[in-house]
Structure 1
Amino acid sequence: MVRQFTAILLQYCKEIDGTYDLFVKYKDNPPIFKGLPSIAGAIQWSRFLFKRIKLPMIKFLSVDQLVQSEQGATAKQRFIEIGTLLKKYEEELFTKWLDSIIKNLPMYLKQSLLIDAEQRPDLFLDSNHVELIHSSPGYRLPLYITKKDINRMPTSIDQSHSIVNKLTLYKEKCHLFQYVFDPVGTKKKIEIKYLINYDPNLKESLTECYYLEKLGFNLPESIIQINLQYSKFEQVSNELRLMLEDYHLTIASLDTIEVSLLQSSIEQIQNSIQPGVSRISFGEIGNLDYINQCKQKLEQFHSILNQIRKISSVIREHLESFRFCIIDPTVPKHDDGNLFTCREYFEFLSMKRHDIGLSLKRRYELIGPLLTKIEALVFGTNTGKHKNMHPFYVYWENEIFSSLVELVIRNLCQFYENIFGTSSLFTVDVILAPPRIKLQPPLEEIMNSIRRSAHAISQLPKHFVRWLHGTCLPCPSTSVHEENLEAPDFTFYNDVRQHPDVASALKPVRSYVSGLVTHLNRILSQLLTYNDLWKSDKQKYT
């Protein structure tokens, strides 16, 4: 029996030595359970080692023969030495961490809520890594400053190499992207202007407090009070993230003209956010009120922006009606199904075009008041000539010009297709006037009607009076008292007519008409082959 006890104690001593070897090998970089902070994880690991040698010793103490033997005394002494070493390791870790946290925690709480990214370009990687963000699942804007995983840093009892010093002296290396893609799928670059300055050391320190308190350590009352606010800090961090995501995505969604129009509103939002960069910290009481004020500013901005976009969509609908309007109706016919004569057809076209032109003119006249409504939303005035609206007026005037150019070109192409196509549009009388065959109306009159009708399409922009410079107010009509002078034309007509695409669309009229004349003359020449027949019939019946 004594021999068996001796063998058991020898094996136990070997296990103690093995535990000591593990401690010496991994004490600077202990294996830590997932989710545990570095200090609490290291202490938990040391207690696990102590538990491995403690449980057998408790059983040995219940057997007097084991403890009273020489080998038992040796094992007990070895157990006490290793246990004391582990306890000292644990206490030194806690003491050094506590000294550091008492010194640094108030400093963390005094840091501002946000960082102005424009003033900290060192926080960003280069743009070669931009696309990595968009491809990641569960994508969120990278608004937090982050650092390397300090859980895997060496832990040492030595003062010069202790984890406490490494935490204190550690310089954060932030891995962020200054430009990322819109997660909605537009792949539009989003510039990150503000970052959440939720110090990872603060978050980790509060996590350490939670786990160390669960491990039975007594923390100072001041640390406990700060630790009780951990949920508040997390709430502030989450609210900041939501607010900044809203800000960055909203600003990124603006096009150039919206930015110029809403520049003053954007500056107001940035002014409301700025205190979070300069003076409001995580430790202050009113930081949630500050976030709510920023959210209110953003909500007001959203309200104005949505109304502007709604009005802009109405204006675009009007312009789309210009672009896709076909002014020439289908082939007109009399009630009995017969086609119009040549004169009737072109008179009908002129009348219909005039009616459609007036309808488009009424739509155009609605655009100015809509822009004045936007002015009232943004600047609180309804003059139609606010100086900050000048780029907005210019933008929409260019859009109107483009739509009128497309209106003219589209209808010229449609007119050519109708006139020079294969479908019959109107009737022409063929009259025998020996020795010739004539058309009624004459061929020259038909050709002139076609030319005039084509050029009338290019005159559609005469219905649209341009705005005064820097306003959305129509130019007033001016009267000229001298007979030799013409009244100035303030419509879009001259600008549209000089557009290269419109000019090139009008050029084919002459060649098309010449081709039509040649074709008609060929048909009339074929009819002249029956000239003898007409003469004999005439002599027979006279």
Structure 2
Amino acid sequence: MTLTMKASTFALIALRLWNYIQQVITEAKYLEQLGFQIPELGRNVALQEDNGLLSETLASLNAPETELLGDHVRELQRVLKPGAKRLNWSSSGIGDYIAQCDLAITKMESLVDQIHKNAHDMELRLKLVEQTDLFRAPPPGPGGCYPKQSYEYFDCIGTNRNSVIGILARKYHAIGPLLTKVEGLVVNTNTGRSPRLKPYYLYLEKRFFAALSTMVYKNLELYLARLRGDAPVFVVNAVLSAAEVVTSPPVKEIYKLLTQSVRKTVESVRRFVRWMYGTCIECAPQHVEGRDEPYVFSFQKDIQVHPRFLDVVSQLNMTITQFLGGLNKYLTRWRNKCSGDCRGNYFGEDRREEVELREAQAQDLDFVRIQLKPLTTKIQETAQAWVTSLGKLLNDSARDALFGLRNQLQGLMRRQALL
């Protein structure tokens, strides 16, 4: 049987035994209140009511904590063992034995309390990591303007992500000193690499890896849900550039912004450097030949190969690709529409189409709102420029023809006068 099993079994047996003894103590107290004579042994047992807290204290330890305190639990067993075998309440050395037990129990309870405080602190840090929102929507602009333009939106997302990751990284870096304090309590050293704490280091590193993984997966799934939702996430402008209908930013830039947000989310875990094996000391960056930047031992590669990560990234790529295909089709319809309108064909030919063009303001396409006002304004300006240009050409042509006709008429009139 391992030390962990021995310690946990001892705690479980002690707790069950204490539950039974507590019933006896309660019955003895009530019987004494009712006026019954209680044997001396029963009164002595009732006086030890507070010592039963030890059983509850030991039972509150989880498996890694029980293994961590294995030596202390074994020492406590050694101190308590005489009372379970050769001593009774009438033994001559019972007073010294009780004093030793009180001292050992107090020491154990104090140690467990310190371990639990540190564990609670680390648990809060882990929960904070798991619940972090790396895609927090930016606040509305002046006058409640929402959603924001694409560059502004992703800039706000990136700024928030860097700020939050910075806070979490500082909290992660502080776990090492916390574990050094635990080491001082348990083995009276402060090296950060105690062999006695090796299983505890591994346990906490796995817990933090799980928390980071949850943070990345949940945030990418939140990002996916937002892109698949009905509400527009950000705004792009439709514009007329060199007689071509395009978006600002261009479609390739929109794709870059969308995918870059995914990549930055995964790369953010590089701020959480892994510990050297069997320690709580962070690995130093390693300079690798042929690489410009030093290699950092982080959780990034482990997260990237997880099936849950691969699945959500695949869905994101598919959603983004489908959106860009729909966006190109939508722009193509505008290009076809503008091929005639930009030359002013709608003036006088289709007044309904002219009205629709003037009234077009915006179009929601999946998760993007396309602002059409810059495009329609430019189309109207271009069409008006065509009308003005054509009018000038027609005016010049008609004027030349009229002047020519006048000259002919004047010539005819002069010849008629000579006759």
Q: State TM-score, norm by structure 1.
A: 0.54
1:446–1:256: structure 2 CA closer, same or farther, 3 Å change rule?
same
2:333 aligns with 526
Q: Secondary structure at the match of 1:432?
A: strand
Identify, as 1 or 2, the structure richer in helix.
2
2:185 aligns with 377
Q: Which moved more, 1:364-373 or 1:424-433?
A: 424-433
Q: Is the 8 A contact 1:436 1:528 kept in 2?
A: yes
Query: What letter corresponds to residue 239 of structure 2 in structure 1?
Result: I
1:289–1:503: structure 2 CA closer, same or farther, 3 Å change rule?
same
Query: What letter corresponds to residue 253 of structure 2 in structure 1?
Result: E
Q: Is the 8 A contact 1:265 1:301 kept in 2?
A: yes
CA RMSD of aligned residues (A): 3.1
Q: Deviations over 1:28-58 (max 9, x none)?
A: xxxxxxxxxxxxxxxxxxxxxxxxxxxxxxx
Q: Deviations over 1:202-250 (max 9, x none)?
A: xxxxxxxxx9xxxxxxxxxxxxxxxxxx95534444456764x444333
The yes-or-no answer on 1:275 pairing with 2:122 is: no
Q: What count of residue pairs does the alignment treat as equivalent?
A: 323
Q: Is the 8 A contact 1:428 1:440 kept in 2?
A: yes
- Distance in 1 between residues matched to 2:116 and 2:286, nearest whole Å: 35
Q: Deviations over 1:172-191 (max 9, x none)?
A: xxxxxxxxxxx9xxxxxxxx
1:387 aligns with 195
Query: What letter corresponds to residue 453 of structure 1 in structure 2?
Result: S
1:541 aligns with 388
1:239–1:398: structure 2 CA closer, same or farther, 3 Å change rule?
same
Q: Secondary structure at the match of 1:439?
A: strand
Q: After the TM superposition, which residues 128-527 of structure 1 pair with which residues of structure 2 at under 5 Å, given as runs? A: 141-142=19-20, 232-239=40-47, 243=51, 245-332=52-139, 334-335=141-142, 340-433=148-241, 436-480=244-288, 482-483=289-290, 487-527=294-334
Q: Is the 8 A contact 1:240 1:291 kept in 2?
A: no
2:352 aligns with none
Q: Which moved more, 1:500-509 or 1:277-286?
A: 277-286
Q: Which runs of 5+ in 1 are unaligned?
A: 1-117, 119-133, 145-182, 184-210, 212-229
Query: What letter corresponds to residue 388 of structure 1 in structure 2?
Result: R
Q: Deviations over 1:373-406 (max 9, x none)?
A: 1111222222111111111111111111011011
Query: What letter corresponds to residue 522 of structure 1 in structure 2?
Result: K
1:84 aligns with none
- Distance in 2 between residues matched to 1:398 and 1:248, nearest whole Å: 29
1:370–1:354: structure 2 CA closer, same or farther, 3 Å change rule?
same
Deviation at 1:516, TM superposition (A): 0.7
Q: Secondary structure at the match of 1:141?
A: helix
Larger Rg: 1
Q: Which runs of 5+ in 2 are unaligned?
A: 1-5, 7-15, 24-36, 345-382, 390-419
Q: Deviations over 1:429-449 (max 9, x none)?
A: 212247641112211221122
1:319–1:530: structure 2 CA closer, same or farther, 3 Å change rule?
same
Q: Is the 8 A contact 1:357 1:460 kept in 2?
A: yes
1:172 aligns with none
- Distance in 2 between residues matched to 1:486 and 1:140, nearest whole Å: 60
Deviation at 1:366, TM superposition (A): 1.3
Deviation at 1:258, TM superposition (A): 1.4
- Distance in 2 between residues matched to 1:410 and 1:344, nearest whole Å: 24
Q: Is the 8 A contact 1:331 1:425 kept in 2?
A: no
Q: Deviations over 1:337-373 (max 9, x none)?
A: 6554323332332233222211111111111111111
1:242–1:361: structure 2 CA closer, same or farther, 3 Å change rule?
closer
Higher relative CO (Cα under 8 Å, sequence separation at least 6) belongs to 2
Q: State TM-score, norm by structure 2.
A: 0.69
Deviation at 1:491, TM superposition (A): 1.2
Q: Percent identity?
A: 26
Deviation at 1:143, TM superposition (A): 5.3
- Distance in 2 between residues matched to 1:452 and 1:241, nearest whole Å: 63
